Amino acid sequence: MVAPSLRNRWIMWPAAVLLLLLLFLLLEGASLFLLYRHDRSVGRDMSRFASSHLLTRPFVRPVNPAPGKRFLGNLYFGDAAWGAYYPFDSLLGWRLAPNMAVWQGSETYLYVTDANGFIVTPGSADASRDKPPFTFRVIVLGGSTVEGQGAHTPAQNLVSALQRAAKLARATGPEGEALEFINAGVGGYHSGQEYLYLASDLVRYSPDLVIAYDGWNDSTYNNLLLAQAPAIAAPLRNRNEMETRGRVTDSFSTGGAAVLVLRNARNWITSYASQLAVVDLFNRIFPRKANPVIQLKFDPRSVEFYRQNVTAILDLGRARGIRIAHFLQPLSGVDGRAAPAKSSWELPVRQPFYSAARAMLADLQKQYPSACISDVSGVFAGTREEVYADIGHLLPGGNAIVADRIVNDLIACGALRGRNDAHR
């Protein structure tokens, strides 16, 4: 028979937990009410209010924008669920998971992948490993600007814009073949990861032309790696190398493994805590101090890393009989227009990096005359419309302008055949 005091303890602890949970729900509910009243009174868009808060999200039934794909819902910066979309890769650092659909933010940017992990429009067929007959296959490499950040849907990203621009120009392969574009952009990739991705995986798809669209991530992450981890900094290294090496080292000891478990638990908790209404309300009443600005300085070796990676891609293309095209992308602050209104810790390295990169790429064009190497960073000169979603990602209109220039350059250098050179 259980003693009364012991029985009371067994009842007391669950009751205490239940009471705490009830108090939390009441506090969260009150915070939601206050936030809703405030946001509505100031005229904010309330259509996504419920989906952006943890307590009300289960009651919202988001529509899968790509039926048949695993839909991760609306993910925000720091969400742990991003790990399912960007799984770890021992060679590349990370890659895109196959058959996924996810909204970044409150239905701000949509990403959809096919069975190969390539970005596609919802409902489109998977890219086949075997190239269809009489097809000129074009694979586009790049970071988030190719993956599609800045475009509301995949139909508005850079590669979709390239397809439309090529159609308008009546562009074909050199022998009149039909064009097929594959979007192999992966958020955060720099030219070194693109080379590894091409050499280890993408060559199996038998591309005829590979387009690399770079500049941003090489300028930022090469300088960041050189500043924070000079001992391991190298052309093919990526910014996750430091954390990956630390995690692997820690996993070999019991204490280190325990710390990893606690760190992962903390990251999981904090990734969702920001979506609590009570946290949102607290942060509005007591704004947190801004994080210290990273003092990033330009290191000339960052351009040398970039050169080695681009050269590696060019050499791989030469060895495999693949035509290579490399384009230096436009970015706010280095596109010849007025200085950006928004400041960023990345901007101090852009100008010196781009100045050196332009000269370097011009020299590579002389060394590899069969390649198409072009600086399209000034493509927005004279454009009055807003083309940037932030300090680098392009809005659909910006993608259309860049795509038109790229297709024209590809026709001019002979990589594609256009309406004005049918005699070739």
SS3 288: coil
Whether 275 and 76 have beta carbons less than 8 Å apart is answered as yes
Strand order in the sheet with 109-112: 70-75, 100-104, 109-112
At 131-140, the pLDDT tens digits run 999 999 999 9
Write the CB contacts of 329 (distance below 8 Å, at least 6 apart in sequence).
142, 145, 213, 214, 215, 216, 376, 377, 392, 402
Angstrom distances, CA of residue 70 to CA of 42, 89, 112, 151, 233: 36, 20, 9, 21, 36
pTM over 0.85: yes
At 228-257, the pLDDT tens digits run 888 889 999 987 887 787 788 888 888 888
The token pair at 334 is 């280095």
Q: Find, among 93, 171, 202, 96, the residue nearest to 410 by Cα.
A: 171
The token pair at 8 is 């009371």
Tell me the average pLDDT across 207-229: 95
The token pair at 168 is 């308008």
State which of 254-258, 311-315, 382-386 shows the largest mean pLDDT.
311-315
- Going from the N-terminus, what domains does the chain have, and what CATH number goes with each? 127-237+296-421 (3.40.50.1110)
The token pair at 123 is 């409902």
Distance CA 212, CA 192 (A): 11
Tell me the average pLDDT across 212-237: 94
Chain mean pLDDT for the chain: 90
At 263-308, the pLDDT tens digits run 888 877 777 777 888 888 888 888 876 666 677 899 999 999 999 9
Tell me the average pLDDT across 347-375: 96
DSSP H helices, 42-99, are: 82-85
